[in-house]
């Protein structure tokens, strides 16, 4: 586990979302008790370009890539960039749920954020 991942997992709740390590596959998951959607945001997950994917999934396993964020600088600077991007994704989760969850439960593509 990287120092950045340790810093992320040491965070308290962010906008009502709590962080959890998924030790089975080594990812970082953010969950909120009032949402069926989880945010997956693991620094540099399977990415050679130093990009951190921010993805969403629901309780049925439907998955959607939301955005990628390049984290640069010191661990503290990268943590601040990570939290800022996470907050942007969290802000849009209600919109994503309301507008982009199809009747069959699949998640439509969201074009918000920056890559």
Locus of tokens 């049925």: 60
- Helix locations, the chain, DSSP H: 3-9, 75-100
DSSP-derived 3-state class of residue 56: strand
| Nearest alpha carbon to residue 86 among 34, 36, 16 | 16
Cβ pair 57, 42 in contact under 8 A: no
pLDDT digits (tens, 9 = 90+) for 35-82: 888 999 999 887 667 789 999 988 788 888 889 999 999 999 999 999
| Nearest alpha carbon to residue 78 among 45, 52, 114, 39 | 52
pLDDT value for 112? 46
| Prediction pTM value | 0.80
pLDDT value for 98? 55
Give the pairing of strands 63-70 and 38-40.
Answer: unpaired
pLDDT value for 111? 47
Structural domain spans, the chain:
3-100
């Amino acid at each position: 586990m990287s120092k950045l991942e340790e810093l992320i997992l040491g965070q308290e709740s962010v906008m009502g979302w709590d962080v959890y390590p998924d030790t089975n596959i080594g990812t970082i998951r953010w969950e909120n008790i009032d949402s069926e959607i989880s945010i997956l945001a693991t620094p540099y997950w399977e990415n050679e370009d130093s990009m951190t994917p921010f993805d969403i999934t629901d309780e049925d396993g439907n998955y959607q890539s939301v955005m990628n964020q390049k984290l640069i600088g010191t661990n503290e600077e990268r943590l601040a960039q990570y939290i800022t991007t996470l907050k942007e994704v969290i802000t849009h989760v209600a919109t994503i749920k309301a507008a982009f969850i199809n009747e069959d439960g699949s998640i439509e593509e969201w074009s918000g954020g920056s890559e």
